[in-house]
Chains A and B, each alone.
Chain A
Amino acid sequence: MTAYLTTAEQAAWNALSADVRADIAVETETRDFQDSAELVNIRLSLVRFSSPDLAAAFKSDGYQAAEKILMNMGSADMQAMPETDLAELFYVIGPRGMHTLIGMMLAQVEDADDAKFVAFLSMARAELLDSFLVAA
């Protein structure tokens, strides 16, 4: 498994214990994407969720649906979420949102599973950057 981390993220990564980081290679991520509220708005109008709850949550009057989803997440099985919906969630977040998410999760790594999840998020960010930067 490979983690694609910025220089700043690598400093936090390297501060983790060696056993936590074991078996995860690191490559440097140098790219960035300048996001904006305008672009997020466009993305929200492009996504198509198969889950009716998710579709409702991302409508402009979807506060109640978003709240319901968040309330129900304690027992939610994200593995059961359709892959297409997961893909749309990543698209809404975008590379810049992923950057913040990775930073937050990096600060909370305690074990190897935590580290693997950070690596997974960083890989998703790298793929998002590929798509966003080619299209820009």
Chain B
Amino acid sequence: MPPEKSADRRPNLPSQAVEKKIVNAASSLPTLQAKAKTEVEMVAARRQLAEELSRDPEVAKYFPNPDALSDHLLKVSAMTRAHESWLSKGVRKVKETAAALPGMIWRNKGKIILTAAILAGGYYLYQFLNWDDIQRALHTATGKLFGDASAIGAGAPSVSAPGVVPDLITPGSGGAPAIVPGGGASGVY
């Protein structure tokens, strides 16, 4: 069973069902904006879509303010374009390089990619605000993996206790995940 969720559960992040509604609605945005002749008209088109969407009570629960929803629609559009670009172009080189990697590397290390995705997604997935909660949620499962040092290389950190799962979101270590707006800073780039 997953551990109890943080009492300070993050407010106003849409459920996946609501996010999918927004994503679906946002697919009409390029067509709407293509009809706009000026930047002002583009913003107005997006604002109008946001107003229509926010009439849905489920959406309004997370976005009572159409302006905030309009900003969110912009981000949805950006992530959609990134997804399309990644699947159509970026991933090609990754596939080629992955195919050239010795099978031994994949057997020993490929699974870390899956773990990283689950952990990265897990931050949102489980609606935990506290990064320690995510670690607690997954440490039992990942312990089965990381307990075998060969899984991610010798010297891999044990995850037999909360707080020692490598932070896959925050560049550097410690502090709040940088993925949290206003959270820990990179300091690396």
Q: Measuring CB to CB, which residues of chain A are less than 8 angstroms from any residue of chain B?
A: 1, 6, 8-9, 30-32, 35-47, 57-60, 62-63, 66-67, 69-71, 73-74, 76-79, 81, 83-84, 86-87, 89-94, 96-101, 103-105, 108-110, 113-114, 116-117, 120, 123-124, 127-128, 130-132, 134-136
B83 and A46 contacting across the interface, CB-CB below 8 Å: yes
A40 and B120 contacting across the interface, CB-CB below 8 Å: yes
A91 and B148 contacting across the interface, CB-CB below 8 Å: no
Overall SS of chain B's interface = helix
Kindly identify which residue among A6, A60, A69, A117 contacts B188, using a CB–CB cutoff of 8 Å.
Answer: A6
- Provided the pairs A66-B138, A77-B107, A123-B97 are in contact, do residues A40 and B87 lie with their beta carbons within 8 angstroms? no
A37 and B179 contacting across the interface, CB-CB below 8 Å: yes
Overall SS of chain A's interface = helix
What are 22 A-B contacts with C-beta separation under 8 Å? A36-B179, A37-B123, A40-B120, A41-B16, A43-B83, A45-B22, A66-B138, A67-B140, A70-B138, A79-B107, A86-B95, A91-B87, A92-B121, A99-B189, A100-B170, A113-B102, A117-B105, A117-B109, A134-B85, A135-B79, A135-B82, A136-B82
Residues of A within 8 A of B180 (CB): 36-37
B114 interface residue per 8 A CB criterion: yes
B103 interface residue per 8 A CB criterion: yes
